[in-house]
Amino acid sequence: MNENPAYQDPVWEELIDGKVVLMSPRPTVNHNFVASNIYSIFNRYLKGKGCTPFADGTDLYLTEKDRFVPDGMIVCDRDKIQTDGVHGAPDLVVEVLSPSTAKNDIGHKKDVYEACGVKEYWIVSPGDKTVTQYQLRDGRFVLHEVYAVHPEVMLAKMREEERAAVITEFKCCLFDDLLIPVADIFDRVM
């Protein structure tokens, strides 16, 4: 904490349906772990390739009434990247749920991402350790899958065929050769 009275924390805000919404309080440690883990996965994979990963903090301009700051995104059209942010639909958007933002992430933002043509949308819950993956099909988001990290105690109670059916890794629709371990997304999450 800076005790200098002249110092002010930066104000983080989004424009949601024409209303300025403060992004407060700042994200928790678990939220930051998840967002950082996802960025790291894509940053490593996309090195030297045409698409660009973005971490939390980059403005995304979608409509006159909607300027969001997603927790992560992938942009494959470099013409959309400008010095003040991304202008136009990214190929993938990730929102990590927080109690103060969950309603917007699951509601209005999801609708705007869909209407603007985002190809894939992830809603990630650090508390539940789940990734809900939507894919755009015929202009509408379709729930593709919900991936989860299952605690060892739960796995121990499952029958062998149930354990075998647990999905432990998945693919993003953009990249056929990238297999993402669900546990890697939640690495260090308490």
Residue 162 lies in a domain: yes
4 band by pLDDT with thresholds 50, 70 and 90: low
| Per-residue pLDDT reduced to its tens digit, 69-96 | 999 999 999 999 999 999 999 999 999 9
Entry pTM: 0.89
The enclosing H or E element of 39 equals: helix 29-46
| Per-residue pLDDT reduced to its tens digit, 142-178 | 999 999 999 889 989 999 999 999 999 999 999 999 9
As a whole number of angstroms, the distance between CA 101 and CA 109 comes to 10
Residue 16 lies in a domain: no
Residue 50 lies in a domain: yes
| Per-residue pLDDT reduced to its tens digit, 107-143 | 999 999 999 999 999 999 999 999 999 999 999 999 9
Residue 5 lies in a domain: no
Please give the mean pLDDT across all residues of the chain: 92
13 pLDDT exceeds 80?
A: yes
Domain count across the chain: 1
Could you check whether the bond before residue 53 is cis, i.e. omega within 30 degrees of 0? no
- Single out the residue of 77, 116, 93 nearest to residue 35, CA to CA: 93
Question: Could you tell me the residue range of the domain that residue 131 belongs to?
Answer: 28-185
DSSP state, residue 190: -
Residue 4 lies in a domain: no
For 54, the 3-state DSSP assignment is strand
CATH number of residue 96's parent domain: 3.90.1570.10
Residue 62 lies in a domain: yes
Residue 8 lies in a domain: no
Residue 55 lies in a domain: yes
Give the count of beta carbons closer than 10 Å to the beta carbon of residue 96.
29
